[in-house]
Amino acid sequence: MERKINHPKRFLWLTALLVVVLFGACHFEKNTLNGDGTAQVLQQEGDLCYQGTVLRGRSHGYGVLWLKDSVVYAGQWKDGKRQGMGTAHDSKGRKITGRWNADTLVNGSREDATGVYVGSFNSKMMASGHGEYTGNDGSHYEGHWENDAPTGKGFALTAQPKVKVGEWKAGQYLGERLTYTTERIYGIDISKYQHAINKRVHPIKWNQLRITHLGTASRKAIHGQVNYPISFIYIKSTEGKSLLNPFYKADYKQARAHGFSVGTYHFFSIYSPAEAQAAHFLRHSYISQGDFPPVLDVEPSPQQIAKMGGAEVLFKAVRTWLTIVEQRTGKRPILYISQQFVNRYLPLAPDIKRDYDIWIARYGEYKPDVHLVYWQLCPDGSVQGIQGEVDINVFNGYKEVFDEFKAKLIEKKPIVRSKLL
């Protein structure tokens, strides 16, 4: 739920002005004196009318203020100001019930045509502080507010329904802020670029692998020292319909021999038919029981997408690759894409967003709002035992969820084993 609740900022000073005008220029139609010095009055001047208790010429006690036929405020007053419980109606027909202090609404509820807000308010009668909003469509948000918009920590249930937990800013959902600790599950992805550096070939020291730095591409909340074990490794095998990673076969065998959970990915090309790319990947990739699902790495620029005929053509090719690989391996592939791709293109393929897990490259501090399985948190991390920069990834879940994820992969045997095996 990302709805901003509109509210008239003029309501507060308008009410005060009406009271001043009414008591400064009105005539008394009825006046009944009480023994405590107060009086019950019915006062009217033009379109303004006040009925209730007054003390020394000021509204004091219970009273109702009208503007024409509409109730502006009904409730407790003190020395001419709203004080205590009361109900107000604004020019847009919204009902506001709550506790007032010195003419300022402190907390209460506000109803409009779309739903109800219950919580704290600021001096302008805007939702501020802790509050809850429940929409007529079934949506719900509870958390911190500023200036009538969710801002800060909170959780929401959308009308779909979908749960969102994390942080908001000016009504926009940012995501869950991650804190990196030793309890999270980390992985890396590698290709020939972790071997071939400056025209030299560097081996990977498999028995030394530890994540030692999470890069500087974005701000991160880190608790403790970065010295994390690696729980899974993805290795690039193919690209397009003909390119190969010359280190793939050796890296795959070494990773499995050293006890790492392993997966294989293909880099998608806009220049080759999807069928040919799928065949190339299946022909040159290991598909073993217990392996992590195969991944399709889709990273075309907007210019490249336009060149191949637009997003519809791209998604048709992506669906073809995903379908062929799943049919041949028995494993549903994962789609690797960037946050920019999610924002700009993924809404055009709701079936893919709904049916496939996402591995997203997003170098920010908030967990992406997609059907996430892995999150690439930096492209410039450091790993002991590997030369150069390394992509660092985090699994969407802790040890228990990760163990369940792996157990399902072991139970499910691949339909077709690669010729490499």
In a domain, 420, yes or no: no
Per-residue pLDDT at 415: 58
Per-residue pLDDT at 366: 60
pLDDT at 13 over 60: no
Per-residue pLDDT at 365: 57
pLDDT at 63 over 90: yes
Per-residue pLDDT at 39: 86
Secondary structure (3-state) at 265: strand
In a domain, 419, yes or no: no
pLDDT at 227 over 90: yes
- Name the residue type at position 138: G
If asked whether residues 143 and 195 sit together in one domain, one would say no
Catalytic machinery residues: 189, 299
If asked whether residues 210 and 251 sit together in one domain, one would say yes
If asked whether residues 64 and 137 sit together in one domain, one would say yes
In a domain, 169, yes or no: yes
Per-residue pLDDT at 116: 95
pLDDT band at 367 (very low <50, low <70, confident <90, very high): low
Per-residue pLDDT at 370: 63
In a domain, 416, yes or no: no
If asked whether residues 113 and 234 sit together in one domain, one would say no
* Residue predicted with more confidence, 129 or 26: 129
**Domain span holding position 373:** 179-411
DSSP string, 169-193: ETTEEEEEEPEE-TTS-EEEEE-GG
In a domain, 2, yes or no: no
Would you state the structure tokens that stand for residue 233, as one six-digit string? 């490794």
Lowest mean pLDDT among 25-29, 156-160, 173-177, 336-340: 25-29
CA atoms within 13 A on the CB side of 242: 2
Q: Is 183 exposed, middle or buried (0-12, 13-18, 19+ CB in 10 A)?
A: exposed
For residue 201, what is the DSSP state? E
* Residue predicted with more confidence, 336 or 29: 336
If asked whether residues 260 and 393 sit together in one domain, one would say yes
| Residue with token string 């190339």 | 280
Residue that is last in its domain, among 144, 177, 210: 177
* Residue predicted with more confidence, 38 or 171: 171
Given a contact cutoff of 8 angstroms between Cβ atoms, the answer to whether 335 and 321 are in contact is: no
If asked whether residues 371 and 344 sit together in one domain, one would say yes
Per-residue pLDDT at 414: 62
Residue 184, number of CB atoms within 10 A of its CB: 18
CATH code at position 183 = 3.20.20.80
Per-residue pLDDT at 8: 40
CA atoms within 13 A on the CB side of 19: 24
Per-residue pLDDT at 159: 75
CATH code at position 54 = 3.90.930
If asked whether residues 273 and 384 sit together in one domain, one would say yes
CA atoms within 13 A on the CB side of 321: 34
Mean pLDDT highest for which of 135-139, 175-179, 188-192? Answer: 188-192
Per-residue pLDDT at 91: 67
pLDDT at 5 over 60: no
pLDDT band at 30 (very low <50, low <70, confident <90, very high): low
If asked whether residues 152 and 213 sit together in one domain, one would say no
The residue among 88, 75, 79 whose CA lies nearest residue 15 is 88
Per-residue pLDDT at 364: 62
Q: What pairs with residue 84 in β-bridges?
A: 100
What is the H or E stretch that residue 83 is in?
strand 81-89
- pTM exceeds 0.75 for this model: no
In a domain, 3, yes or no: no
CA atoms within 13 A on the CB side of 213: 14
If asked whether residues 314 and 354 sit together in one domain, one would say yes
Number of domains in the chain: 2
Rounded Cα gap, residues 199 and 341, in angstroms: 33
Phi, psi of 340 (to 5 degrees): -60, -40
Q: What is the pLDDT of residues 82-104, one digit of tens each?
A: 999 999 886 677 889 999 999 88
Q: What is the pLDDT of residues 370-416, one digit of tens each?
A: 678 998 989 999 999 999 999 999 998 889 899 999 998 877 666 55
pLDDT at 420 over 70: no
* Residue predicted with more confidence, 50 or 68: 50
If asked whether residues 269 and 382 sit together in one domain, one would say yes
* Residue predicted with more confidence, 173 or 299: 299
pLDDT at 20 over 60: no
If asked whether residues 213 and 355 sit together in one domain, one would say yes
pLDDT at 165 over 70: yes
In a domain, 418, yes or no: no
* Average pLDDT across the chain, whole number: 86
> What's the whole-number mean pLDDT along residues 141-153?
91
Per-residue pLDDT at 230: 98
pLDDT at 232 over 70: yes
Q: What is the pLDDT of residues 285-332, one digit of tens each?
A: 998 989 999 999 999 999 999 999 999 999 999 999 999 999 999 999
If asked whether residues 150 and 45 sit together in one domain, one would say yes
Per-residue pLDDT at 412: 65
> What's the whole-number mean pLDDT along residues 245-250?
98
Residue that is last in its domain, among 120, 151, 177: 177
Residue that is last in its domain, among 177, 193, 222: 177
In a domain, 357, yes or no: yes
Would you state the structure tokens that stand for residue 58, as one six-digit string? 């000021």
